[in-house]
Amino acid sequence: MPSTDRARREGGHRAVVLATGNEMIAAGALAAGCRFFSGYPITPASEIYAEMMRRLPAAGGVALGAPDEISALSYAVGASLAGARAMTATSGPGWSLMIETAQYALMTETPVVIVVSQRLGPATGGATQSAQGDVLFVAHANSGGYPVPVLCPVDAIDAYAVTIRAFDWAERLRTPVIVLTDKETSKTMEAVPLEALPRPLVGSRPSPADDRPYVPYAIEALEDVPAFAPVGGPHKVTVTGSAHDSRGLLRKNDPETLRQLAHLRAKIEARAEELAWVRERGEREAETLVVSYGSSARACRAAAARLRQEGVAVRLLEVLSLFPVPAGPIAEAARGASRVVVVEENGPGLYARELRAEIPGLPLRRVNAVGRPIDPAEICAEVRR
């Protein structure tokens, strides 16, 4: 794919490239200033690995092939602790192996972007079959239920924008952020008008003050984000995955340690409204709201177009920030709806479960499939029912 800056400078014609979601994730990472990537190839995320290996060294970064997924995320976390914007990419089986290191990044407040491209599970599953079965698996894969932001693109343009936002959240909030995509979004090649791509705006990690000693995890309010100093820099930095005090020292049965743990939750939950990202389409007065995410949202768009031709009004809500659950915007979109149909490619309706818990009283219905994309006709049938 040509660089977005060069393509934008071409005059006279609309600059368009053909690209997959995976290629646009890599392009978004580069635009966001990613300077370290480590990975282990796995379907359907392998093109991210290949693109970063090909393009990142030319951008002045480091791209490293790891011997396994445990090492891949560990390398990325280490690079981030040294100050680099870092990313890795995997699928469900690899994520299973990364969970301990992801919790280490959570505990040590290390910014890192983790791309998980879903395929049919569990275990090795079906490497080339579509699925959206990891939505709760990635969000809740830590002891204690601490919130980890999860973003989800619908198409290739979203893949670029979502990755940039993931780096912004990771850097500003000092947290791991997950980009959850799926096989269809990852592998589908489509025309991408470069004028539709957002300009990359990525915040920075808070910096230590020059007028007082550096304390690695010092905060005043629970929702504050502590200043970051890189390992190997001028400040003494203590890092541990154990429960620790503001100095980064292991402390057990200590009020300050418990306060630091409460802070991990508070810094995300206090910004839930700011982090909410949904996209509404269709007739606001329609009685049926269809909620979806990822590639299934595209089936919803096709279903809505068919229904409108039949004179059936429907509104769509595409959720790009899956976690923290954007409960406010979803509840507002559902106001006045007699039914809310949640469309997702897994058997039990995993995100529908989450919405039922977060927004009691939603008149929920589901359309689900396992191992195949959802047919727009199935969505139409549920809306008409």
Say if residues 260 and 245 touch (Cβ distance below 8 Å): yes
| Separation of alpha carbons 355 and 153, rounded Å | 19
Q: Are residues 155 and 297 in the same domain?
A: no
Q: Are residues 285 and 191 in the same domain?
A: no
Collapsing DSSP states into helix, strand and coil, what is residue 326? Answer: coil
Q: Are residues 152 and 41 in the same domain?
A: yes
φ and ψ at residue 171, rounded to 5 degrees: -70, -45
Looking at residue 217, what DSSP letter applies?
T
pLDDT at 85 over 80: yes
pLDDT at position 253 is 86
Mean pLDDT of the region 149-156: 99
- Beta-bridged to residue 192, according to DSSP, are 17
Q: Are residues 29 and 143 in the same domain?
A: yes
Distance from the Cα of residue 306 to its chain's centroid: 30
Mean pLDDT of the region 58-75: 98
Task: Return the structure tokens found at 248.
Answer: 């980064």
φ and ψ at residue 281, rounded to 5 degrees: -135, 160
Placement of tokens 């994520």 in the chain? 95
Tell me whether residue 55 is in a domain.
yes
Tell me whether residue 29 is in a domain.
yes
Collapsing DSSP states into helix, strand and coil, what is residue 212? Answer: coil
Lowest mean pLDDT among 104-108, 196-200, 291-295: 196-200
Q: What is the pLDDT of residues 222-270, one digit of tens each?
A: 999 999 999 999 999 999 999 999 999 999 889 999 999 999 999 999 9
Looking at residue 57, what DSSP letter applies?
G
Say if residues 84 and 36 touch (Cβ distance below 8 Å): yes
Tell me whether residue 227 is in a domain.
no
- Per cent of the chain over pLDDT 70 is 97
pLDDT at position 10 is 46
Q: Which of 292, 120, 99 is nearest to 178 (CA)?
A: 99
pLDDT at position 190 is 96
Asked if the peptide bond before residue 93 counts as cis, ω within 30 degrees of 0, the response is no
Q: Are residues 171 and 311 in the same domain?
A: no
Neighbours of 68 (CB within 10 A): 12
Q: Which of 128, 182, 129, 132 is nearest to 158 (CA)?
A: 182
Tell me whether residue 202 is in a domain.
no
Q: How confident is the model at residue 284 (pLDDT cuts 50, 70, 90)?
A: confident
Tell me whether residue 264 is in a domain.
no
Task: Return the structure tokens found at 280.
Answer: 């509404």
What CATH number is given to the structural domain containing 293? 3.40.50.920
What CATH number is given to the structural domain containing 159? 3.40.50.970
pLDDT at position 4 is 46
Q: How confident is the model at residue 1 (pLDDT cuts 50, 70, 90)?
A: low
Mean pLDDT of the region 31-55: 98
Say if residues 90 and 114 touch (Cβ distance below 8 Å): yes
Q: What is the pLDDT of residues 361-376, one digit of tens each?
A: 999 999 999 999 999 9
Task: Return the structure tokens found at 346.
Answer: 């897994």
**Mean of all residue pLDDT scores within the chain:** 95
Q: Which of 178, 196, 214 is the last residue of a domain?
A: 196
Tell me whether residue 369 is in a domain.
yes
Mean pLDDT of the region 59-72: 98
Mean pLDDT of the region 325-341: 97
pLDDT at 5 over 50: no
Q: Are residues 187 and 321 in the same domain?
A: no
Q: Are residues 290 and 168 in the same domain?
A: no
- Total domains in the chain come to 2
- Beta-bridged to residue 28, according to DSSP, are none
Q: Residue 281: which H helix or E strand, with range?
A: strand 278-282
Say if residues 97 and 47 touch (Cβ distance below 8 Å): no
pLDDT at 183 over 70: yes
Q: The domain containing residue 334 runs over which residues? A: 279-384
Q: Are residues 49 and 181 in the same domain?
A: yes
Mean pLDDT of the region 81-104: 99
Sign of CA dihedral 92, 26, 292, 190: negative
Largest distance between two CA atoms of the chain: 68
Q: Which of 130, 161, 196 is the last residue of a domain?
A: 196
Q: Which of 196, 231, 255 is the last residue of a domain?
A: 196
Tell me whether residue 255 is in a domain.
no
Tell me whether residue 83 is in a domain.
yes
Q: Are residues 27 and 175 in the same domain?
A: yes
pLDDT at 385 over 90: no
pLDDT at 353 over 90: yes
Q: How confident is the model at residue 211 (pLDDT cuts 50, 70, 90)?
A: confident
φ and ψ at residue 265, rounded to 5 degrees: -80, -45
pLDDT at position 9 is 45
Q: Are residues 301 and 171 in the same domain?
A: no
Q: Are residues 45 and 188 in the same domain?
A: yes
pLDDT at position 71 is 99
